[in-house]
Structure 1
Amino acid sequence: MQFDSLADFFNMGGYAFYVWLSYGVTSFALGTLIFFSARQKRKILSEIAKKIQREERLKANRSNQQ
């Protein structure tokens, strides 16, 4: 192990602010990306389901009219 203690690990040789800030920004960016991607996926799947239901209703109406 490169660090003598846990405090040395968190201090990162005097560069703790930059190291932990970069980890924080990266984690925030990835978390935001995952959140918005999941939300967009749900929205798209919902729109597809609505289109399929609409097409089925139109098909049923056409068959009833004939």
Structure 2
Amino acid sequence: MQFESFGDIFAMGGYAKYVWSGFAVTFLSMFALLIASRNDTKKILNEVNKKKHRQARIDAAKNRENTL
């Protein structure tokens, strides 16, 4: 499909509201997915660090128990 002018690209042959709303929904969904993924990653990394520190405290307590 060829367009006569630059304005025709934005008009999309009378289907602009469908085309551009489709682009908007797609990009907003992708942005929301990006934010959700980053938040989940941070949450998971924090949980892993907490478990690692907890295990280190448990191991340290066992070592102290064995030396007494």
TM range (shorter): over 0.9
Runs of at least 4 residues of structure 1 off by over 4 A? Answer: none
Counterparts of 1:10 and 1:2, CA distance in 2: 13
Counterparts of 2:47 and 2:4, CA distance in 1: 56
**Percent of aligned pairs sharing the same letter:** 41
Counterparts of 1:30 and 1:54, CA distance in 2: 36
1:23-34 equivalences under 5 Å are 23-34=23-34
Aligned to 2:48: 48
How many equivalent residue pairs?
Answer: 66
Counterparts of 1:46 and 1:61, CA distance in 2: 23
Other structure's SS at 2:39 match: helix
Instruction: Tell me how far 1:33 sits from its aligned partner.
Output: 0.9
Aligned to 2:3: 3
Q: Note the residue ranges of structure 1 that are not aligned, 5 or more in a row.
A: none
Q: What is the CA RMSD across the aligned residues, in angstroms?
A: 1.2
Q: TM-score, normalised by structure 1?
A: 0.92
The answer to whether 1:62 aligns with 2:62 is yes
Instruction: Tell me how far 1:30 sits from its aligned partner.
Output: 1.0
Aligned to 2:14: 14
Other structure's SS at 1:3 match: coil
Q: Note the residue ranges of structure 2 that are not aligned, 5 or more in a row.
A: none
